[in-house]
Structure 1
Amino acid sequence: MKNPLDRLKENISSLPRSQKLVVDFILSHYNDVGFMTVEELSKKVGTSTTTVMRLMSSVGFSGYSEFQKNLQLLLKEESTPHTRLEKNLTTFSQNERWLNHYDLQLAQIQQANQINMETNLSQVESIIKKATNVFCTSVRSGLPVAQYLAHNLNRMFGNTKLTLADSSDWVDDVISFSKEDVLIVVSFARYGARLMHYADQARKNGASVVVITDKFSSPLLAYADAHLICPAESISSHNSVVSSFFLVDYLISALALSDSERVKQRLSEVNNVLTSMNYHIEKKNN
């Protein structure tokens, strides 16, 4: 079956202006449109649902649902590692790779900053500060981010646990969740279904859910009380965690500074135990 975006492009010249505006929006925002209702799409474009439905009929779809289903299949295919690698092989020459990597990561950090600013970050910080227990979870590419966050929060406050959504062990924790707890979910495309199950159960038990993800079209956002959007493109096939580490590192610092006396006391106690074990390699004086 032909790519649904290609079908729009092939027919755009014969469409009335009102439908061309819808096509322009879809082609520029197709990642988001894949998860919009027809009402949300028409509102974004500034037109009617009737115009959107007429467009779908004009380009050969039985309706918006059929178009969206095909678009979601395309998005799923585009997010596979081998597809991303194949695309990037033709995009970047060998001589340009380092500079393109640098420019891309810098741009994504700046984009993450613009999207989240202090509003989202402050909201997430407030939820974590008030929580009795914090649970961090992820699968696959998001796991290092969740692990880094869980390690540092637990070192500072002693109330954080890393749970693996790919294991069923989280079920033993989630049944005891309450409104005093928070679940932090880290997920990038292609999003893990088990993370959605975990987040859903956490919400049902009254816990707050914080989602760290890469796009506004992420299905995990449906479960979020607060979120951070961290672009995760790379010049290869993988999800890059650079911008998410940048924001998570800030969160760790902000939380430590906001409760510095408590954190200092706990870090001192932890250090005393590690010192008694000769845990660290000490530099010897000559």
Structure 2
Amino acid sequence: MEDNQDLIKLIQSKFQRMSKGQKLIAEFILKHYDKAAFMTASKLGNSVGVSESTVVRFADELGYNGYPKLQKALQELIKTKLTTIQRIELSSDFISEENALKNVLKADIDNIRGTLEKINSNTFEEVINRILKARRIYIMGLRSSTALADFLGFYLNLILDNVRVVNYGVSDAFEQLLRLDENDLFIGIGFPRYSSRTIEALRYAKNNGATAIALTDSLLSPLSADADYTLLAQSNMASFVDSLVAPLSVINALIIAVGLREKDKTSNTFEKLERIWDEQKVYAERDGFI
């Protein structure tokens, strides 16, 4: 069941052969697949008036090894399809004002845990090697991923001094990538809903011989399709706000790993920075300390 795009068609094709209870589940999913994607088997069963075991058998009927596999397929299906308005409506069903703090923190914990299970340590190490070998490093992330790109670019540039964050402003992204070639590296950061501009830029970098790295949520991501290396970070959230906790954690790991590889250079850089910060009073004094 790898092709999630065919899930709706699969349900429709099997509908006539399903039991009465399974048909109720199928009808609910076809009409409300955005909500069903975040329901437990028990909650889905209660919503349509069938038992939890009927929901599990429904997943088996579709060829999934348990309900969690079906749920994951539904979540993959809706990631790029929900508008912001739909996300707002969805979040109100699963997150209330009273439990927002607990639910969001729990979801982010789950995202960190899922990332730890998904990310490939060998790929991570190879990305570090490529970063250290690159002549120039270009980083691009738009929309909500802009903060991630800026954070990564800020710290990597302190360590390596050959990093450029590609912005979408006065000059076009492709003008900023004009001199990119096989000696360079491009890091594209994107999560649902994926920015088409970042996808195009990563593809451009790959076609011009640069090493293309994607930081995204799935190997099914359009960024991953053209990347030489993909770093996975889970970003599931039943909300209109994107969850960037796990992606930022992966970025922290990248920065720290690069800094440890370039330990002497990093120490010298921050010694100079500490003197500058002290002289320029960059940080506010507190209780007699700076």
Q: TM-score range by the shorter chain?
A: 0.7 to 0.9
Change (3 A) 1:169 1:89: same
Give the corresponding residue for 1:51: none
Deviations 1:171-223 (A, max 9, x none): 23322112221111111111111112211221122111111112222111112
Return the alpha-carbon distance in structure 2 between the equivalents of residues 167 and 185 of structure 1.
Answer: 20
Deviation of 1:27 after TM superposition, in Å, equals: 4.9
TM-score (norm: length of structure 2): 0.73
1:88-237 paired onto structure 2 within 5 Å: 88-165=91-168, 168-237=171-240
Q: Which moved more, 1:20-29 or 1:166-175?
A: 20-29
Q: Is this contact kept in 1: 2:139–2:149, CA < 8 A?
A: yes
Deviation of 1:146 after TM superposition, in Å, equals: 0.7
Q: Is this contact kept in 2: 1:213–1:228, CA < 8 A?
A: yes
Deviation of 1:97 after TM superposition, in Å, equals: 2.4
Change (3 A) 1:120 1:165: farther
Return the alpha-carbon distance in structure 2 between the equivalents of residues 281 and 200 of structure 1.
Answer: 44
1:77 aligned onto 2:81: yes
Return the alpha-carbon distance in structure 2 between the equivalents of residues 212 and 108 of structure 1.
Answer: 15
Letter of the 2:245 counterpart: V
TM-score (norm: length of structure 1): 0.74
Deviations 1:145-193 (A, max 9, x none): 1110000000112111111246643323322112221111111111111
Deviations 1:8-59 (A, max 9, x none): 435525459xxx9794459552566x6xxxxxxxxxxxxxxxxxxxxxxxxx
Q: Is this contact kept in 1: 2:141–2:198, CA < 8 A?
A: yes
Return the alpha-carbon distance in structure 2 between the equivalents of residues 153 and 160 of structure 1.
Answer: 7
Change (3 A) 1:170 1:272: farther
Change (3 A) 1:6 1:187: closer
Letter of the 1:178 counterpart: D
Deviation of 1:5 after TM superposition, in Å, equals: 5.3
Q: Is this contact kept in 2: 1:31–1:217, CA < 8 A?
A: no
- For structure 1, the residue ranges without an aligned partner over 5 or more in a row are 35-73
Return the alpha-carbon distance in structure 2 between the equivalents of residues 5 and 222 of structure 1.
Answer: 21
Q: Is this contact kept in 2: 1:185–1:212, CA < 8 A?
A: yes
Return the alpha-carbon distance in structure 1 between the equivalents of residues 288 and 79 of structure 2.
Answer: 59
Q: Is this contact kept in 2: 1:174–1:205, CA < 8 A?
A: no
1:55-70 paired onto structure 2 within 5 Å: none
Change (3 A) 1:200 1:282: same
Give the corresponding residue for 2:36: none
Return the alpha-carbon distance in structure 2 between the equivalents of residues 205 and 118 of structure 1.
Answer: 27
Change (3 A) 1:229 1:166: farther
Change (3 A) 1:145 1:90: same
Return the alpha-carbon distance in structure 1 between the equivalents of residues 60 and 224 of structure 2.
Answer: 27
Q: Classify the secondary structure of the residue corresponding to 2:166.
A: strand
Q: Is this contact kept in 1: 2:259–2:266, CA < 8 A?
A: yes
Return the alpha-carbon distance in structure 2 between the equivalents of residues 7 and 264 of structure 1.
Answer: 57
Return the alpha-carbon distance in structure 2 between the equivalents of residues 128 and 8 of structure 1.
Answer: 43
Return the alpha-carbon distance in structure 2 between the equivalents of residues 279 and 204 of structure 1.
Answer: 43
Change (3 A) 1:181 1:190: same
Q: Is this contact kept in 2: 1:165–1:195, CA < 8 A?
A: no
Q: Is this contact kept in 2: 1:108–1:232, CA < 8 A?
A: yes
Count of paired positions: 240
Q: For 1:253, which of 242, 253, 256 is the aligned residue? A: 256
Q: For 1:12, which of 14, 31, 49 is the aligned residue? A: 14
Q: Is this contact kept in 2: 1:166–1:194, CA < 8 A?
A: no
Give the corresponding residue for 2:242: 239
Return the alpha-carbon distance in structure 1 between the equivalents of residues 132 and 12 of structure 2.
Answer: 53
Q: Which moved more, 1:178-187 or 1:142-151?
A: 178-187
Q: Is this contact kept in 1: 2:219–2:230, CA < 8 A?
A: no
Deviation of 1:77 after TM superposition, in Å, equals: 3.2
Deviation of 1:88 after TM superposition, in Å, equals: 2.0
